[in-house]
C-alpha cells in the first residue's frame, strides 16, 4: 500500500516519475521550489507528451513564507487574425477544428510562465541547468508509459494525418509499446537554445520566427507579431473562506472559481459521513449547479458581466445552495468540458509552496509539430465558440481554461498545494482530495488513493454518466442509483478519474507529499 512521503528539506510530487526526479535534483542542489518546478515542467513536457508540452499553456500559484500567494497566468491569447470571419473565409462556420493548423488559435503560454516565475527567484540557477534533464531525455530517449501508448492508439485516427505527429510519436509508423525508447532530438536542440539564449527567445528569437513561418504555412492564424507581443502575467488569486481555512485558485479564464465554489457550498452542509452515498451525492449535485453557472458565464474576464471573485459571495452561494436537492439527482444532459493536463506541487527549505499546472488541451493538443524545433502546439483555441456567448472567438482573447492549480492555508497553519488533470474532473477531484484530508482527517495518501467518482467526461472519454470506481461499496452504488444517478462503473484504479497529487507544508517545517497510484508519478521528499 502506498504511503505519504515525509521530510524537512524539500519535496515535489508529479504524475510522471522523471519529472519528480528532475525537480528533486534541483531541490537537493539548493534550488528553490520555483526552479525545481521549471525543471520538472520541462522534463514532463518531454516524457509525458500526450498530456502537456511547451506548445501549451501553464498556470502557477506560489506562496512564499510571510507573503501573500501570487498567481501567474501563462494563458495564451488568440491570434490577432483569429476571428469568425477568418474561419468563414476558409469555409469553417460551425465550430473550430480540433486538430491540425486551424485548431492552433492561441499563443503557447507555458514557457513565458516559467520565465515569469523565475523572476521571483533572487539568485536563480542557470537556465541550462534547469533544462538539463529535459535535454538528456530528448537526446538519450525515455521509456514510453502505458498511458502514452494507450492515448496514442486511441487517438491515432485523429492525429495520423497531422503534420509532424507520426514522425515524432510513432516508431516505424507503429504505436510505441509501453517501455519503448522514444527520442525527441529536435526538441532537445530547442531546449539547448532556450538555455543558451534565454526563455524569452521562444517568443522573440529564432525559435519564434521558425514557429511563425511553420504555423502560417500549416493553416494557423498565429503570426510572429502574436508571439512577440505575448507575456505571461502576474494575477491576483481568488479566494474563499471555509471552516477549514482559506482556499485559493486562479481567476478567469480558468475554472478556478468552480473548484472554490464546490468546496464553499459543501462547507454549508453538516452531518454527512465521508465516502457515503450522501457525501458523493452532495458533491455531485453541488458540482452540477456550479457547472451550469460556469458554462453559461465563464470566459475571458474582459468579456464577462461580473467578476468571478463575486461568485464566491454569500448571496450567490446561498442562491445556489437553496436549489440543492439532497435526495434526488438533477438530470445531467450537458456536454462536458474536455481537457488533458498535468499538475505538480513543490516545497523548498525556505517554505515556498508551488502549485503548478500545464497542458496542451486535448491529448497531444493539435497534433501539429514543427520538425525544425520538435514543438507541437496546443488546440486550446478549439475551445472557443463561433456562436455568441462568454467564450465566443475574438482576436487577442483568452479562451476558457479548465486548468486550475489549487492551494489552501488551513486554520492550523498547514499550507497545501493540490490538483489533478482532467477537464471537468479537476474541480471534482480537488473536492474529493481536500474534503477527505482537511474535513475528515484522512492521511494525505489515503485521500488521494481512495476510490473516486467523476460526473461527465474527462480525458480520453465521453459521456455524461456518474462514473464510480468499482472499489465503492455495492450498497453505496445502489443508493446513488436510487437517487436517480446514471451510474457507470470503472476499474478499481481508473485514470479516467484523474492523476491527482498533493503536498503539504506543516507549521513545524515537516513536508508531506503524495502521488496518485493511477498515474506514472511519484512524491519525493527529503
Q: Among all residues, which ones are annotated catalytic?
A: 341
| Other beta carbons within 10 Å of 475 | 10
Q: Which pairing describes strands 487-490 and 466-469: parallel, antiparallel, or unpaired?
A: parallel
Instruction: Find out whether 188 and 374 touch, Cβ atoms under 8 Å.
Output: yes
Residue of 421, 448, 298, 407 lying closest to 358 (CA atoms):
421
66: Cβ contacts below 8 Å, ≥ 6 apart: none
> Rounded distance, CA 406 to CA 359, Å?
15
Bridge partners, 246 (sequence order): 241, 409
| Other beta carbons within 10 Å of 441 | 10
Write the Ramachandran bin of 241: left for phi over 0, alpha for psi from -120 to 50, otherwise beta: beta
> Rounded distance, CA 461 to CA 456, Å?
9
Q: What is the largest CA-CA distance in the chain?
A: 62
φ, ψ (nearest 5 deg) of residue 282: -60, -50
Cis peptide bond prior to 253, omega within 30° of 0: yes
Per-residue H/E/C for 482-515: HCCCCEEEECCCCHHHCCCEEEEECCCCCEEEEE
> Rounded distance, CA 354 to CA 339, Å?
22
Residue of 338, 520, 327 lying closest to 424 (CA atoms):
338
H or E stretch covering 142: strand 142-143
Instruction: Find out whether 356 and 60 touch, Cβ atoms under 8 Å.
Output: yes
> Rounded distance, CA 23 to CA 43, Å?
9
| Surface-to-core class of residue 161, CB atoms within 10 Å of its CB (0-12 exposed, 13-18 middle, 19+ buried) | exposed
Torsion of CA 386, 392, 396, 399, to 10 degrees: -110
Q: What grid cell was written down for 289? A: 449547479
| Surface-to-core class of residue 157, CB atoms within 10 Å of its CB (0-12 exposed, 13-18 middle, 19+ buried) | exposed
52-85: b or e for each residue (b if 16 or more CB lie within 10 Å)? bbbbbbbbbbbbbeeeebbbbbbbbbbbebbbbe
Amino acid at each position: 500500500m502506498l504511503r505519504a512521503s515525509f521530510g524537512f528539506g524539500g519535496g515535489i510530487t508529479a504524475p510522471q516519475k522523471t519529472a519528480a526526479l528532475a525537480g528533486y535534483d534541483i531541490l537537493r542542489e539548493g534550488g528553490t521550489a520555483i526552479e525545481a518546478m521549471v525543471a520538472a515542467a520541462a522534463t514532463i513536457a518531454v516524457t509525458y507528451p500526450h498530456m502537456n508540452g511547451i506548445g501549451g499553456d501553464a498556470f502557477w500559484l506560489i506562496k512564499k513564507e510571510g507573503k501573500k500567494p501570487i498567481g501567474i497566468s501563462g494563458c495564451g491569447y488568440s491570434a490577432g487574425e483569429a476571428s469568425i470571419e477568418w474561419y468563414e473565409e476558409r469555409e469553417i462556420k460551425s465550430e473550430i477544428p480540433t486538430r491540425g493548423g486551424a485548431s492552433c488559435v492561441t499563443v503557447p503560454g507555458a514557457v513565458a510562465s516559467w520565465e515569469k516565475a523565475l523572476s521571483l527567484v533572487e539568485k536563480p540557477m542557470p537556465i541550462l541547468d534547469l533544462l538539463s534533464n529535459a535535454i538528456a531525455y530528448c537526446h538519450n530517449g525515455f521509456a514510453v508509459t502505458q498511458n502514452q501508448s494507450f492515448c496514442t492508439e486511441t487517438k491515432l485516427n485523429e492525429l495520423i494525418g497531422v503534420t509532424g505527429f507520426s514522425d515524432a510519436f510513432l516508431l516505424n509508423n507503429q504505436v510505441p509499446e509501453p517501455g519503448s525508447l522514444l527520442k525527441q532530438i529536435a526538441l532537445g536542440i530547442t531546449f539547448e537554445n532556450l538555455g543558451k539564449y534565454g526563455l524569452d527567445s521562444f517568443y522573440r528569437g529564432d525559435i519564434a520566427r521558425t514557429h511563425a513561418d511553420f504555423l502560417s504555412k500549416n493553416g494557423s492564424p498565429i503570426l510572429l507579431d502574436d508571439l512577440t507581443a505575448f507575456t505571461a502575467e502576474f494575477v491576483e488569486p481568488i479566494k474563499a473562506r471555509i471552516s477549514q481555512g482559506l482556499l485559493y485558485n486562479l481567476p478567469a479564464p480558468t475554472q478556478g472559481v468552480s473548484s472554490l465554489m464546490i468546496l464553499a457550498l459543501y462547507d454549508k452542509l453538516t452531518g454527512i459521513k465521508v465516502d457515503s452515498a450522501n457525501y458523493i451525492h452532495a458533491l455531485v449535485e453541488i458540482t452540477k449547479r456550479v457547472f451550469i453557472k460556469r458554462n453559461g458565464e465563464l470566459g475571458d474576464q474582459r468579456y464577462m458581466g461580473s467578476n468571478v471573485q463575486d461568485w464566491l459571495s454569500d448571496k450567490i452561494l446561498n442562491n445556489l445552495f437553496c436549489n440543492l436537492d439532497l435526495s434526488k439527482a438533477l438530470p445531467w444532459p450537458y456536454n462536458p468540458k474536455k481537457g488533458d493536463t498535468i499538475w505538480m506541487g513543490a516545497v523548498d527549505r525556505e517554505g515556498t509552496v508551488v502549485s503548478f499546472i500545464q497542458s496542451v488541451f486535448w491529448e497531444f493538443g493539435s497534433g501539429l509539430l514543427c520538425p525544425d524545433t520538435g514543438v507541437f502546439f496546443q488546440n486550446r483555441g478549439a475551445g472557443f465558440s463561433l456562436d455568441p456567448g462568454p467564450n465566443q472567438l475574438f482576436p487577442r482573447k483568452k479562451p476558457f481554461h479548465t486548468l486550475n492549480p489549487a492551494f489552501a492555508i488551513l486554520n492550523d497553519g498547514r499550507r497545501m498545494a493540490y490538483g489533478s488533470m482532467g477537464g471537468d474532473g479537476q474541480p471534482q477531484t480537488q473536492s474529493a482530495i481536500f474534503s477527505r484530508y482537511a474535513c475528515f482527517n484522512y492521511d494525505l495518501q489515503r485521500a488521494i488513493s481512495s476510490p473516486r467518482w467523476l460526473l461527465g467526461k474527462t480525458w480520453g472519454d465521453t459521456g455524461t454518466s456518474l462514473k464510480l470506481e468499482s472499489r465503492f461499496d455495492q450498497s453505496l452504488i445502489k443508493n446513488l442509483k436510487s437517487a436517480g444517478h446514471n451510474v457507470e462503473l470503472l476499474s478499481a484504479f481508473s485514470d479516467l478519474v484523474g492523476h491527482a497529487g498533493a503536498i503539504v507544508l506543516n507549521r513545524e517545517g515537516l513536508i508531506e507529499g503524495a502521488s496518485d497510484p493511477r498515474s506514472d508519478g511519484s512524491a519525493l521528499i527529503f
